[in-house]
Amino acid sequence: MSLADFFKANPDVRYIMYGGKGGLGKTTFSAATGYYLASQGYKVLVFSVDPQASLSDIFERNIFGQGEVEIAPNLYACEIDADKRIKAYQEEVRARIRDMYGMEQIPEEIENYIQAASAEPAMEESAIFDEVVNIVVKGGYDYYIYDLVPLGHALYYLSMASVYDAWIDRITGLREQMREYDKVVATVRRQKSTEEDQILNELLYIKERINKSSGILTDSKQTSFFFVLTPEEMIILDTTKAAELFAKFSVPIRGYIVNRVIPRRLLEDNIPEYLRNRIGMQAGHLETIEKQFGERVLARVPEFDSDIRGMKNIARVAEALFGNGAGPVRQAPAVVAGGGADDGDTGDGSAEGGDR
């Protein structure tokens, strides 16, 4: 089955994820898949959960922190500004504290705690995760394409939903116990009871959002995860191990995309011995991939002769991924806050460009 056939056979799929080690082409394939689906008339959002996102590079548009930017008709992209999201979250916390407890000003010790919590190492990933939940819960697109972080961090990201869910369950349970204790107190003010209910309602709201995101990540009907790998021994071994780990989190792994395959037809030309040896090495590894993953290999993408940047070169990758069904998509004019328009379509192309 080809990748194009996969989407035809699975019309209920809405959430698409590309995973793998850094630098193998996840960002490129995310952009190319968005291009292909947009060319089929679907409204698509490609967004990165990587703090070092590179969608701006591949689309040649400044989209970092700009929200959902229209790249072309039906095709939108988003790079989340984690720092901006953290500051917004800090303000949300302050507003809730002021509202729940009738405070005009946040006490210094609480403000210090808010600042310290925001400096935690995992806060950046948490902020991105929270914004992704916002995007997905809001809806409005036919397809959502996740440009994931490299393998280890991707596993951490995918596990965050279950970790947060367990944490919220614990906090909610404690809050419910506190409510019971409050009832024992003789004449507690009614306002106090209302404030406690507000806190509990907030916790339940957060839990509902996390459950929705967690459900998406493991929904075998609506979600499809594709591993990106190259014909190299260590990459094959790492991908095999990662697939086993991801399966433990019930991630619906639907296929594998092999990138940077050097065309064997080059052997007919007068090419350097080094290149002949690389082609021979790849032949053995491609055979291993075939034995290991079989029909789950949905596409083999050739090594391109230049970096993949701009819509013309993204189209080249889309054609390699999906075949000639990847029709042309006209680029939308770039409007950047505080700046001018980007030309957008001036780059070269390669299936490794832009990815980290």
Instruction: Map 160-184 to HEC letters.
Output: HHHHHHHHHHHHHHHHHHHHHHHHH
Q: Hey, how many other C-beta atoms are within 10 angstroms of the C-beta on 37?
A: 25
pLDDT band at 53 (very low <50, low <70, confident <90, very high): low
DSSP string, 214-233: HHHHT-TTTEEEEEEE-S-H
Lowest average pLDDT, out of 45-54, 69-78, 106-115, 256-265, goes to: 45-54
pLDDT at site 228: 96
Q: What is the mean pLDDT of residues 206-228?
A: 82
Domain residue extents for the chain: 3-83+125-322, 88-118
Burial of 106 from C-beta contacts in 10 A (0-12 / 13-18 / 19+): middle
- Res. 111: pLDDT tops 80: yes
Q: Tokens 């590894």 identify what position?
A: 285
pLDDT given for residue 341 in this prediction: 37
Cα–Cα distance measured from residue 83 to residue 85, given in angstroms and rounded to the nearest whole number: 5
Q: What is the pLDDT of residue 99?
A: 82
Torsion of the alpha carbons at 71, 74, 79 and 84, rounded to the nearest 10: 100
- Predicted pLDDT at 338: 37
244-288 pLDDT, tens per residue? 988 887 889 999 999 999 999 999 999 999 999 999 999 999 999
Name which of 50-59, 168-177, 187-196, 309-318 the model is least confident about. Answer: 187-196
pLDDT at 299: 96
Q: Which of 63-67, 74-78, 125-129 is the most confident on average?
A: 74-78
Does residue 33 register a pLDDT over 70? yes
- Indicate the CATH number of 3-83+125-322 among 3.40.50.800, 3.40.50.300, 3.40.1280.10, 1.20.1080.10: 3.40.50.300
Q: Is the pLDDT of residue 151 over 80?
A: no
pLDDT at 200: 66
DSSP code per residue over 236-276: HHHHHHHHHHHHHTT--EEEEEEEEEPPGGGGGS---HHHH
pLDDT for res 344: 39
**pLDDT, tens digit, 9 for 90 and up, residues 188-210:** 555 454 445 566 676 677 777 76
Residue-level pLDDT at 198? 66
* C-alpha radius of gyration, the chain, whole number: 24
| Cβ atoms of 96 and 84 closer than 8 Å | no
Look at 40-44, 71-75, 325-329, 338-342 and tell me which has the smallest mean pLDDT: 338-342
Q: Is 322 exposed, middle or buried (0-12, 13-18, 19+ CB in 10 A)?
A: buried
Q: 43: closest CA among 334, 332, 324? A: 332
Residue indicated by tokens 């056939």: 5
What pLDDT does residue 335 have?
A: 43
CA dihedral sign, ordered 355, 5, 293, 219: positive
pLDDT at 101: 76
Range from 92-101, 152-161, 210-219, 288-297 carrying the lowest mean pLDDT: 152-161
> What backbone torsions phi and psi does residue 115 show, to the nearest 5 degrees?
-65, -40
How confident is the model over 328-351, as a mean pLDDT?
A: 45
Per-residue pLDDT band at 351 (split at 50, 70, 90): low
Cross-strand bridge partners of residue 256: 227, 297
Which DSSP string corresponds to 18-84? EE-STTSSHHHHHHHHHHHHHHTT--EEEEE--TT--HHHHHTS--BTS-SEEEETTEEEEE--HHH
Q: Contact 193/182 with Cβ under 8 angstroms?
A: yes
Tell me the pTM: 0.78
Mean pLDDT across the chain: 81
